[in-house]
Amino acid sequence: MTYKKIINIVHNSVRFSVDTAKYLKGKLVDLGYEVPDEFDENAELIISIGGDGSFLRALHKYHFPDIPIIGINTGHLGFFTEVNPDEIDYFLQQYTSENYFIEEISPIEATICTRSNCIEVMSINEIVIKGDRSRTLHLDMSVNNNLIQRFSGDGILVATSTGSTAYNYSVGGSLVDPRLDVLQVTPLAPINTNAYRSFTSSVILPSDTTITVNPEYRFENSIVVVTDGEEHRHAAITEITLQLSKMKIKMLKLKDFDFWGKVIKKFL
């Protein structure tokens, strides 16, 4: 793809984000950039203004574009959003001086099959398979066609390395350096009794792993699939297959970015 001197700004409707976008647009125009009112696929950069949710929604809304993206944090945690509003001038100086690098991350993709058809969904952080209306799920989970557990509980979460710091971390999963291309399966309230035996901690699997989940027949209408917070309900789900996508999301990072420094700052 050939990029022009165009930068897309996307933001939520919060007043602080709107004001920040207006300020940023003025700065970019002064630097000779075009900032279109509508999303331009020929842009050289996407700047998302908001929180982590806004960042993820932008990627989903524009179908995971092949354009580097960076976030300005006007939200709360701001793990994806690298730049604070008071650092805009510093960011622009670093960007125009090319003091940055591109970190490529792999989303996770799932094929959800029902008795009538199959659909594909994709996620940056995680895909969660859980019970609808707080029902207990009974799932057979296989790794590369080998059955490894008959899970019972609230559900399972399958996270990317990037998503290890999100929902995965809040339910007891492991933090994973994003430079490692792995999948992590974390159980949600697993049942461990004489009747049911489930993993009680997360399992980390290599990047070429295919995970297959089959619900017990009588529970196939009790499943909700959640991708980065977006719920998908389908009648009579028979199988869900998950794997890392071959697609790469381009995350623009300033050269002084340090993942573990950010973990300490945000979580400890």
Residues 79 and 119 in one domain: no
Tens-digit pLDDT profile for residues 33-42: 999 999 999 9
Given a cut of 80, is residue 219 above it in pLDDT?
A: no
Owning domain of residue 177? 108-244
pTM: 0.90
**How many structural domains is the chain composed of?**
2
Given a cut of 70, is residue 184 above it in pLDDT?
A: yes
Q: Is 170 exposed, middle or buried (0-12, 13-18, 19+ CB in 10 A)?
A: exposed
Span between the terminal Cα atoms of the chain, in Å: 41
Tell which residue, 213, 202, 214, 207, has the closest CA to residue 243.
207
Six-digit token string for 56: 């993820």
Q: What is the pLDDT of residue 80?
A: 81
Q: What is the pLDDT of residue 234?
A: 83
1 occurs within a structural domain: no
User: Could you give the 3-state DSSP secondary structure of residue 259?
Assistant: helix
Span 183-188, average pLDDT: 96
Residues 55 and 173 in one domain: no
210 occurs within a structural domain: yes
Q: Which residues pair with 69 in a beta bridge?
A: 46, 251
Span 209-223, average pLDDT: 84
Distance CA 187, CA 158 (A): 9
Confidence of residue 204 (pLDDT cuts 50, 70, 90): very high
Residues 134 and 258 in one domain: no
Phi, psi of 88 (to 5 degrees): -60, -45
60 occurs within a structural domain: yes
Q: What is the pLDDT of residue 131?
A: 85
171 occurs within a structural domain: yes
User: Could you give the 3-state DSSP secondary structure of residue 223?
Assistant: strand
Residues 98 and 184 in one domain: no
Q: Residues with Cβ < 8 Å from 60, sequence gap 6 or more?
A: 228, 230
Q: What is the pLDDT of residue 265?
A: 74
In what side-by-side order are the strands of the sheet with 69-73?
A: 7-11, 45-50, 69-73, 249-254, 100-105
Residues 116 and 98 in one domain: no
Residues 138 and 228 in one domain: yes
Q: What is the pLDDT of residue 220?
A: 64
Span 194-222, average pLDDT: 85
2 occurs within a structural domain: no
Q: What is the pLDDT of residue 12?
A: 94
Q: What is the CATH number of the domain that holds 120?
A: 2.60.200.30
Angle of CA points 29, 91, 24, to nearest 5°? 35
Q: What is the pLDDT of residue 1?
A: 53
Q: Are 165 and 182 in contact (CB under 8 A)?
A: no
Tens-digit pLDDT profile for residues 46-104: 999 999 999 999 999 999 999 999 999 998 777 788 899 999 999 999 999 999 999 99
Q: What is the pLDDT of residue 67?
A: 97
3-state helix, strand, coil in the chain (%, to 5): 25, 40, 35
Six-digit token string for 93: 């100086």
Tell me which residues are annotated as active site: 52
Q: What is the CATH number of the domain that holds 76?
A: 3.40.50.10330
Q: Are 225 and 129 in contact (CB under 8 A)?
A: yes
Mean pLDDT computed over every residue of the chain:
91
Given a cut of 60, is residue 3 above it in pLDDT?
A: no
Q: What is the pLDDT of residue 58?
A: 95
Residues 196 and 165 in one domain: yes
Q: What is the pLDDT of residue 238?
A: 92
145 occurs within a structural domain: yes
Tens-digit pLDDT profile for residues 117-135: 999 999 999 999 998 877 8
Residues 94 and 64 in one domain: yes
Confidence of residue 4 (pLDDT cuts 50, 70, 90): low
Residues 114 and 14 in one domain: no
Given a cut of 70, is residue 230 above it in pLDDT?
A: yes
Residue type, 201: S
Residues 147 and 75 in one domain: no
Residues 225 and 257 in one domain: no
Residues in the chain: 268
Least confident piece of the model among 127-131, 200-204, 241-245, 258-262 = 258-262
230 occurs within a structural domain: yes
Residues 158 and 122 in one domain: yes
